[in-house]
Amino acid sequence: MEVYVDILLKRAEMVRNWRVYAARVAEAARAVLPGARVYVFGSVVRGECTGGSDVDVLVISGSLPRSGLERAKVKVKIEELAGLPPYHPFEIHLADEEEGGWYLSRVGELVEF
């Protein structure tokens, strides 16, 4: 039980300091996908997050693979390069230019990194 509580507390700390971690995710995303555009959207940007919230990160790149499996590998590489622990609260949304346009037209307020 103590380990579970520690993980929840660490996740909550990452949500509170989302800008620091999002900058690391953005740097990692650009290392994997040069020229990628990176945004954060959702409850953290609106100031409505709680300790249990996730942090939505949108990565838009014209060089993103089409295959779901290959995209999963890209996501793992970004997480590893950013130094995120397995329990991190970052929901990384990978999108090509067309998909990115769909996201940008729907997510509302966002912060670019």
Tokens representing 63 are: 């060089």
Computed over every residue of the chain, the mean pLDDT equals 96
CB atoms within 10 A of CB 109: 10
Euclidean distance between CA atoms 79 and 27, whole angstroms: 11
Query: Quick check: helix, strand or coil at residue 55?
Result: strand
**Domain layout of the chain by residue ranges:** 2-112
Residue 24 has pLDDT above 90, yes or no: yes
pLDDT tens-digit profile of 45-94?
999 988 789 999 999 999 999 999 999 999 999 999 999 999 999 999 99
pLDDT band at 22 (very low <50, low <70, confident <90, very high): very high
Domain 2-112 has CATH 2.40.50.100: no
Q: What is the CA radius of gyration of the chain?
A: 14
Nearest C-alpha neighbor of 33 from the set 86, 89, 105, 100: 100
Q: What's residue 65's pLDDT?
A: 96
Give bridge partners of residue 94 from the DSSP assignment.
59
Q: What's residue 50's pLDDT?
A: 83
pTM: 0.93
